[in-house]
């Protein structure tokens, strides 16, 4: 069983370009935390390193070099998928991948009310302009999905096309 886990870990070190697995950068302005989070969690699960962000993987001792290497890899993946402003606010010397994960999560979860207000405003003020009806509806659907991720119900009336 140990060899199987070891092979899973080794595969993770074969990921040379995290952007090919997680093709977006986490960004406050894009309201893409939920999509980024899902992609990141799925990626870590697929490469058997999910314990580094959820706290279930701990070093056996202070000299657990293999654990430190895996944790460093997950940290690099995290940092590489952040915009520069988020990188600056989340980079701390000595932090584990779990520390970084929790800090990022708190930044987005603690701003839930502000995000809800902004997205509700966007939903109510979005105009069709020179977009096609399809593009306009996709924009409303996207905003509605972001609000649903914040546990906010959007009524069908709110999504009605302008007359």
The tens digit of pLDDT for each residue in 87-141 reads 999 999 999 999 999 999 988 877 777 778 888 888 888 888 899 988 888 888 8
Judgement on whether residues 12 and 87 belong to the same structural domain of the protein: yes
Judgement on whether residues 55 and 6 belong to the same structural domain of the protein: yes
Judgement on whether residues 76 and 153 belong to the same structural domain of the protein: no
Judgement on whether residues 49 and 129 belong to the same structural domain of the protein: no
Judgement on whether residues 101 and 117 belong to the same structural domain of the protein: no
What is the tally of structural domains in the chain?
A: 2
Whole-number Å distance between alpha carbons of 80 and 97: 13
Q: Give the model's pLDDT for residue 156.
A: 67
**CB-facing half-sphere around the CA of 136: CA atoms within 13 A:** 14
* Residue, of 8 and 32, whose pLDDT is higher: 32
Q: Give the model's pLDDT for residue 111.
A: 72
Judgement on whether residues 76 and 130 belong to the same structural domain of the protein: no
Q: Give the model's pLDDT for residue 142.
A: 82
- Quick check: 154 pLDDT over 90? no
Chain centre distance of CA 60: 28
CA neighbor of 28 nearest in space, from 132, 111, 113 = 111
Judgement on whether residues 99 and 125 belong to the same structural domain of the protein: no
73, 91, 109 - which closes a domain: 109
Judgement on whether residues 42 and 98 belong to the same structural domain of the protein: yes
Judgement on whether residues 121 and 56 belong to the same structural domain of the protein: no
Judgement on whether residues 27 and 51 belong to the same structural domain of the protein: yes
* Residue, of 58 and 147, whose pLDDT is higher: 58
Judgement on whether residues 6 and 55 belong to the same structural domain of the protein: yes
- Quick check: 86 pLDDT over 70? yes
Helix (H) or strand (E) holding 58: none
109, 126, 146 - which closes a domain: 109
SS3 state at 7 = helix
Whole-number Å distance between alpha carbons of 68 and 52: 10
Judgement on whether residues 25 and 45 belong to the same structural domain of the protein: yes
- Quick check: 46 pLDDT over 80? yes
Residues in the chain: 163
59: containing domain: 2-109
Confidence band for 147, pLDDT divided at 50, 70 and 90: confident
- Give me the torsion for CA of 27, 33, 35, 39, rounded to 10°: 90
Confidence band for 161, pLDDT divided at 50, 70 and 90: low
């Amino acid at each position: 069983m140990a060899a199987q886990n070891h092979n899973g870990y080794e595969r993770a070190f074969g990921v040379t370009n995290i952007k090919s697995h997680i093709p977006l950068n986490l960004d406050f302005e894009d309201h893409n935390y939920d999509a980024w989070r899902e992609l990141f969690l799925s990626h870590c699960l697929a490469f058997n390193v999910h314990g580094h962000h959820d706290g279930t993987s701990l070093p056996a001792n202070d000299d657990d070099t293999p654990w430190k290497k895996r944790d460093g890899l997950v940290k690099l993946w995290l940092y590489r998928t952040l915009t520069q402003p988020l990188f600056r606010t989340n980079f701390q010397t000595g932090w584990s991948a779990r520390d970084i994960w929790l800090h990022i999560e708190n930044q987005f979860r603690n701003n839930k009310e502000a995000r809800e207000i902004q997205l509700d405003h966007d939903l109510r003020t979005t105009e069709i302009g020179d977009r096609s009806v399809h593009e306009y509806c996709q924009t409303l659907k996207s905003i509605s999905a972001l609000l649903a991720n914040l546990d906010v119900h959007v009524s069908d009336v709110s999504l009605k096309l302008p007359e």
